């Protein structure tokens, strides 16, 4: 039976989280959380999300959502902040207490992120945080660099895919799951072309996905809906290169949509 995990994109909706030069934590966390989820799903992990769009839920609601889903693990993605801009940089992970598999997972995630270039600030106990205190399963909150650090933002923007993979690998290492995607015996992947698409939304309710698709199509975006892993995903286009996908993502963001680029 596969492991199950609830991924939480920190903040959302009316709660932007930390803000720096117009950059909002809630946007970074949502994009990264969806990218991590894609990787974990491809490795056979059952993934659920507290949010897949820009909506607000209280920390208590998120903890109860994880408890009601009965998942094995809870991982919350955040960006850190410091009172003085560009004074501190690095990643740290928070757990209820420094024991058990949650500590191991937090240390593994930090170690993987260190290979991307972040300073490893270690794992800290934060028993007062609701999403760590009220969840009934092992829970980790990852602070993926400081949002008011230009150094960390540069790493975040220019190594986004590597960061998503690092966090996913830290989780998978803890679970003892193969970090390589399954490939049928005898299949050569060296010559396979890698395509990209831009995800504009993912919903548990297909009605919401259809509504977003119709809205995008009305604006001449070639949106389609696909179903898998319990989610209805709305994606726009298929592109042979990352640069082409980035151009579409920019168009969608200018139109006011939250997006994430995913590889096919």
What residues act catalytically? 143
Distance of CA 256 to the CA centre of its chain: 20
Neighbours of 206 (CB within 10 A): 12
Neighbours of 150 (CB within 10 A): 13
Element (H, E) at 116: helix 100-116
77 closest CA partner among 127, 117, 23, 113: 113
CA-angle at 141, arms to 138 and 143, nearest 5°: 160
Q: What is the CA radius of gyration of the chain?
A: 18
């Amino acid at each position: 039976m596969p492991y199950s995990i609830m991924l939480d994109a920190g903040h959302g909706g009316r709660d932007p989280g930390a803000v720096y030069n117009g950059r909002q934590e809630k946007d970074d966390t949502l994009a990264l959380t969806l990218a991590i989820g894609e990787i974990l799903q491809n490795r056979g992990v059952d993934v659920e999300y507290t949010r897949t769009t820009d909506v607000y839920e209280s920390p208590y609601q998120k903890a109860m959502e994880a408890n009601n889903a009965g998942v094995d693990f809870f991982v919350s993605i955040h960006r850190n902040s410091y009172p003085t801009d560009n004074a501190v940089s690095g990643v740290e992970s928070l757990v209820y207490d420094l024991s058990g598999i949650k500590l191991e997972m937090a240390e593994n995630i930090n170690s993987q992120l260190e290979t991307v270039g972040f300073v490893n600030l270690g794992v800290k106990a934060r028993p007062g945080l609701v999403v760590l205190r009220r969840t009934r399963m092992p829970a980790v909150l990852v602070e993926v660099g400081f949002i008011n650090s230009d150094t960390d933002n540069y790493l975040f923007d220019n190594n986004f895919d590597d960061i998503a993979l690092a966090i996913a690998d830290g989780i998978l290492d803890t679970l003892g799951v193969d970090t390589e995607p399954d490939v049928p015996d005898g299949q050569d992947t060296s010559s396979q072309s890698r395509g990209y698409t831009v995800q504009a939304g993912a919903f548990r309710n297909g009605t919401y996905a259809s509504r977003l698709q119709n809205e995008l199509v009305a604006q001449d975006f070639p949106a389609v809906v696909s179903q898998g892993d319990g989610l209805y995903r709305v994606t726009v286009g298929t592109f042979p290169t990352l640069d082409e996908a980035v151009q579409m993502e920019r168009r969608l963001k200018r139109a006011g949509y939250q997006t994430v680029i995913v590889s096919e």
